[in-house]
Amino acid sequence: GRARIEIRPCPFLDLARAHGEVVCTVHRGLMSGMLTVLDPSLAVERLEPFATSRLCVAHLRRESGPHEAGPAR
């Protein structure tokens, strides 16, 4: 399945406007790492920077198949 997260305002808005390619790549990596720990069955399929002037959209997908549990808390 697919899902999306609307991120508003972008937490890195000023930096992303000046250096979008770098900042958005790092932001996607942070989200991917967080999902790996919180729910390994979810993955960031793509990040859509500035879907509107103050909104970014993270498109997620649920991966099928067995997954290991996240780290013990």
pLDDT of residue 11: 84
Give the per-residue pLDDT at 73. Answer: 46
CB 23 within 8 A of CB 12: yes
CA distance 39 to 54: 27
One-letter amino acid at 59 equals H
Q: Residue 2's pLDDT is what? A: 87
**What confidence score (pLDDT) does residue 66 get?**
56
| pTM: predicted TM-score of the whole model, two decimal places | 0.76
Q: Residues in the chain with pLDDT < 50?
A: 68, 70, 73
The pLDDT value given to residue 9 = 85
Q: What are phi and psi of 37, to 5 degrees?
A: -85, -45
